[in-house]
């Protein structure tokens, strides 16, 4: 058998920075997120030389650029690579790493770190030990790469590990002198980048058959469908299975970071925390990649499924999730799409009965869920009979952009105003999970989500308090003409953090700087100064013109919507 030909001529030298750029492109990475600094210039030059194949995106700090990358990874379900600067840059990027860990985004964090010659000598931007230790508990894998010739291997392994179910962040680091190190092409394995992975693994047949038995005889079945369903593109299977069983569907937490099905599906009831009693009333619960965040639930430290006689079937791509927050009768470790298809295939010929009793049970809970939703909305209106400005803005955007609209929800005070029931597709909505819980995610993540969906319109709905954590991210959108729209809800402060019933003055006092009543902020003016088109809405008469203005804009747009500052989120005492 003839020897395999090398793809590059023997004796030719290639730099470490060129190897990074070449390896990323070979693996299909077409965006590179970075904040430049001392020691990173050779890498930036190498990326710039390949600008026809890889787009360079920067920001004013590492927190913003890493959150932009996390949003891109979340929406594209593909790896996003962000390079940050030494100790301080890695520290600033940690918010994105913790979010990627919590919400399983395939984020690849690259740190440029101290030169190997200066390592352990506490020189410029020093690190006490290895920079990868900073992220150790949040990432699936890390490696500080010792030699330029190892770069293709490091990048290949990082991409493979980050995208293998369960997806999640990884961290690789390159000493700055590696970028200028020259390597003989002959020692680089030309096989890097050729692998194709097949990882839609199905659950064990015996487990599937046991699950079928429980589902077949259930009279009050419930599907608790979590973020894994949206992330691994199993939304159609969930909808079909729900229809087959006559089972209502609930999603995660106070904010669902991925919708489990079309939000206007008749069996979708909304988030479990809003109607937690349904979990006690069901006799069989199919739990699909679902995280039970206890925030907002009665009884701290408890899930709804302790000490019950219910049958619980739990399916997750992550074996560590089985039994973590509940004790299931059956635990299935598998990719949701092929496993749910198999369940449907077995259940269909059995013609599971959806009798009048089962149908009425589902209808009763649908009515309760709708009533609860209307009550929550009316409680957050100044006048229950009139929609708030923000409601009309969102409805207007839905009407204008239809199925091309993607809503990014990161507003403590505004989530209730988003009528997800009007969204026809699961991929029209993104939010951050309660597990991730981080202020400032909304705008930079929405920029990344817009980059991942260039032919659609992203609408970020953010509170004014959260907006101020990362407001400068808008400058990135302005510089690169990224056409997202941001709606800032101005209720004069960070309601979720500033309102405390035990502190009578709440956001009005001096104990909490996140209240802006004493020193008001003009958010439309702030955006304008960063080169972003903006408008400040004070009345309904302005809404139509504000939305129509989008037709003539190329870049980003900020709408500041004034809402009643007295209508604060309800805080559990």
* Together in a domain, 386 and 512: yes
Last-in-domain residue among 314, 349, 369? 369
Same domain (yes/no): 299, 212: yes
What is the structure's pLDDT at 6?
46
19/157 same-domain check: yes
Q: Which residue has the tokens 């003009």?
A: 522
Give the chain's length: 573
Q: Which of 369, 398, 421 is the last residue of a domain?
A: 369
Q: Are residues 140 and 245 in the same domain?
A: no
Residue 330's CATH number = 3.40.50.1220
In-domain check, residue 45? yes
Residues of the chain whose pLDDT is less than 50?
Answer: 1-7, 296, 300, 504, 569-573
Nearest residue to 323 via CA among 313, 335, 338, 334: 313
Q: For 11, what's the count of Cα atoms within 13 Å in the CB-facing half-sphere?
A: 0
Instruction: Give the model's pLDDT for residue 76.
Output: 97
Q: What pLDDT is recorded for position 86?
A: 87
Predicted local confidence at residue 127, as pLDDT? 80
- Encoded tokens for 429: 């909505």
Residue 508 gets which letter from DSSP? G
Nearest of 197, 199, 107, 114 to residue 158 by alpha carbon: 107
* Inter-axis angle of helices 336-347 and 205-216, nearest 10: 50
Q: How many CB atoms lie within 10 A of CB 55?
A: 14
Say whether both 97 and 224 belong to one domain: no
Domain extent at residue 18: 13-187
pLDDT at 434: 82
Point out the domain boundary residue: 339, 369, 399.
369
Position 8 in a domain: no
Residues 38 and 177 in one domain: yes
Total domains in the fold of the chain: 3
Q: What is the pLDDT of residues 200-250, one digit of tens each?
A: 999 999 999 999 999 999 999 999 999 999 999 999 999 999 999 999 999
The pLDDT of residue 297 is 53
Please, are residues 285 and 306 in contact by the beta-carbon 8 Å criterion?
no
Within-domain flag for 571: no
CA torsion 399→274→437→445, rounded to 10°?
Answer: -10
- Clarify whether residues 408 and 334 are in a common domain: no
pLDDT tens for 401-443 read: 999 999 999 987 677 888 888 889 999 999 998 888 889 999 9
Q: Which of 516, 504, 492 is nearest to 567 (CA)?
A: 492
How far apart (Å, rounded) are the C-alpha atoms in residues 446 and 453?
Answer: 10
Q: Is 327 a domain residue? A: yes
CATH number at 434 reads: 3.40.50.970
**Residue 569: DSSP 8-state:** P
Sign of CA dihedral 44, 47, 51, 57: negative
Question: Is 375 part of any domain?
Answer: no
């Amino acid at each position: 058998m003839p020897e395999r030909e090398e793809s590059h001529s023997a004796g030719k030298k290639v730099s470490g920075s060129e190897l990074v750029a070449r390896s990323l492109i070979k693996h299909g990475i077409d965006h590179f997120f970075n904040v430049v600094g001392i020691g990173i210039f050779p890498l930036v030059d190498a990326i710039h030389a390949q600008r026809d194949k890889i787009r360079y995106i920067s920001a004013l700090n590492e927190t913003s650029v890493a959150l932009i990358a996390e949003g891109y990874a979340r929406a594209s379900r593909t790896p996003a690579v962000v390079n940050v600067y030494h100790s301080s840059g890695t520290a600033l990027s940690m918010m994105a790493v913790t979010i990627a860990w919590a919400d399983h985004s395939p984020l690849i964090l690259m740190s440029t770190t101290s030169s190997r010659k200066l390592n352990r000598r506490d020189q410029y931007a020093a690190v006490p030990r290895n920079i990868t230790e900073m992220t150790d508990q949040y990432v699936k894998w890390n490696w500080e790469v010792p030699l330029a010739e190892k770069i293709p291997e490091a990048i290949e392994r990082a991409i493979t590990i980050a995208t293998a179910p369960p997806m999640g962040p990884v961290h690789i680091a390159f000493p700055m002198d590696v970028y200028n190190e020259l390597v003989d092409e002959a020692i680089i394995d030309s096989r890097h980048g050729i692998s194709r992975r097949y990882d839609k693994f199905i659950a064990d047949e015996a487990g599937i058959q046991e699950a079928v038995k429980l589902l077949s005889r259930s009279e009050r079945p419930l599907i608790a469908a979590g973020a894994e369903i949206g992330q691994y593109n199993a939304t159609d299977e969930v909808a079909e299975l729900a229809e087959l069983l006559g089972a209502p569907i609930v999603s995660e937490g106070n904010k669902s970071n991925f919708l489990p099905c079309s939000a206007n599906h008749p069996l979708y009831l909304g988030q479990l925390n809003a109607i937690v009693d349904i979990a006690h009333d069901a006799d069989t619960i199919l739990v699909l990649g679902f995280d039970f965040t206890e925030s907002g639930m009665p009884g701290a430290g408890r899930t709804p499924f302790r000490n019950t006689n219910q049958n619980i079937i739990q399916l997750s791509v992550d074996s560590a999730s089985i039994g973590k927050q509940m004790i299931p009768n059956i635990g299935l470790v598998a990719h949701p799409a092929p496993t749910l298809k198999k369940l449907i295939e077995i259940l269909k010929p059995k013609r599971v009965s959806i009798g009048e009793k089962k149908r009425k049970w589902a209808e009763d809970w649908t009515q309760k869920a709708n009533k609860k939703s209307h009550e929550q909305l009316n409680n957050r209106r100044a006048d229950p009979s009139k929609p708030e400005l923000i409601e009309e803005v969102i409805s207007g955007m839905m009407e204008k952009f239809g199925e091309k609209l993607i809503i990014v929800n990161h507003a403590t005070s505004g989530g209730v105003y988003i009528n997800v029931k009007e969204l026809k597709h699961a991929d029209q909505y993104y939010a951050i999970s309660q597990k991730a819980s981080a202020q400032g995610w909304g705008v930079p993540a929405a920029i990344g989500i817009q980059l991942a969906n260039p032919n659609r319109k992203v609408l970020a709905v953010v509170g004014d308090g959260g907006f101020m954590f990362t407001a400068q991210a808008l400058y990135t959108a302005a510089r690169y003409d990224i056409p997202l729209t941001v709606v800032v809800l101005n209720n004069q402060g960070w309601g979720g953090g500033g309102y405390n019933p035990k502190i009578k003055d709440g956001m009005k006092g001096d104990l909490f700087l996140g209240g802006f009543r004493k020193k008001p902020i003009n958010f439309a003016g702030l955006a304008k100064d960063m080169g972003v088109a903006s408008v400040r809405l004070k009345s309904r008469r302005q809404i139509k013109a504000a939305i129509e203005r989008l037709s003539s804009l190329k870049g980003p747009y900020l709408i500041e919507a004034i809402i009643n500052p007295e209508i604060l989120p309800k805080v559990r005492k």
